[in-house]
Amino acid sequence: MSKTVVIAFANNKGGSGKTTTCSNVGCALAAMGKKVLLIDGDMQQNLTLSYFDEEKALEFAQNGKNIYEAIKSERDLSAYIVETGYEGLDMVPSTSLMSSIEFDLFTKWQREWILKKCLEPVRAKGYYDYILIDAPPTLGGWVMNIMCASDSILIPVEASPWGLFGLANLFDFYHKVLELSPNLKVLGIAVTKADERKKYFKQTLETLQAMEGVYLFETYVRVDSAIEWSQDNSKPVVAYRKTSRSALEYIELTKEIIKNVNR
Ligand SMILES: Nc1ncnc2c1ncn2[C@@H]1O[C@H](COP(=O)(O)OP(=O)(O)O)[C@@H](O)[C@H]1O
Ligand SMILES: [Mg+2]
């Protein structure tokens, strides 16, 4: 059995903090000495742009080093990995071509399992401790692929009035995936963009605490402009401004993830 743990960062609600959480947890894990592979599964390429500038992202689209080419050709994902420049942290970038992934998957045999098959050789090598997959804000065949390739799902939820909207759909979808992949776990819900001064932050927290059978991470990440600055500089905040509030919170969240993965 491979020791690699695969975690999908998923929520059909856009703007819930999936990409920010995926990129920062990945960087924090690598800084703690873990070997990490990030997979950008979204056509918006935000995870790719969290580490590379637009010019570099365009290069990955042109030289074929991206998830779209891997899925389309159903090849070993190892050939599509690029270095991020951070020790122990690699990535499979995305391209805007991911906009047609549902169409490309449609005609494939056993189409829910393509990503899992592409990942198999990477897992078998056992080099990575963690593979983190950033999912798009949808619930379709591609997210089905992402979940079927994962051991668990981490759900970032924005502490806003609409943050919880659609969460029931996500859980319905998760239960459908369980029919195919019965060992898939929900690692937990992580609250992002929290503003303790606002009433609905408390409301969101209380609603999530009342959900049965789902772990709510004790660490939540508060609203912090350092995150936007870090993204503007193509860096995760845990590397860009190590002592900022959100960087420290993401490091705490990462420690909690490690604890819960091994639970
Ligand atoms: N803690 C935070 N403080 C301030 N802005 C944040 C924070 N987390 C995320 N954001 C911003 O919110 C937006 C959505 O976050 P993102 O991670 O892209 O969500 P998703 O991937 O779920 O769509 C981005 O513009 C990001 O900069
Ligand atoms: Mg995103």
Q: Is the CB of 223 under 6 A from ligand 1?
A: yes
pTM above 0.85, yes or no: yes
b/e code 183-196 from CB counts within 10 Å (16+ = b): ebbbbbbbbbbbee
Q: Is the CB of 246 under 6 A from ligand 1?
A: yes
Q: Which residues lie closer than 8 Å to 179 by C-beta, 6 or more apart?
A: none
pLDDT tens per residue, range 206-246: 999 999 999 999 999 999 999 999 999 999 999 999 999 99
Is residue 1's pLDDT more than 50? no
Q: Is the CB of 23 under 6 A from ligand 1?
A: no
- 158 CA → ligand 1 middle, Å: 9
Q: Please name the residue whose Cα sits nearest to atom 23 of ligand 1.
A: 15
Q: Is the CB of 224 under 6 A from ligand 1?
A: yes
So where are the chain's domains? 5-261
Residue 216 burial (10 A CB sphere; 0-12, 13-18, 19+): middle
pLDDT tens per residue, range 7-18: 999 999 999 999
pLDDT tens per residue, range 59-105: 999 999 999 999 999 999 999 999 999 999 999 999 999 999 999 99
How large is the angle between the packed helices 141-148 and 114-125, nearest 10 degrees?
Answer: 30
Q: Is the CB of 12 under 6 A from ligand 1?
A: no
- Strands of 109-249 (E only): list them: 130-134, 152-158, 185-192
pLDDT at position 51: 98
Rounded CA-CA distance 232/57 in Å is 14
- At the top level of CATH, the class of 5-261 is alpha beta
Q: What does the H/E/C string look like for 101-115?
A: HHHHHHCCCCHHHHH
Residue 261 structure tokens: 């993965």
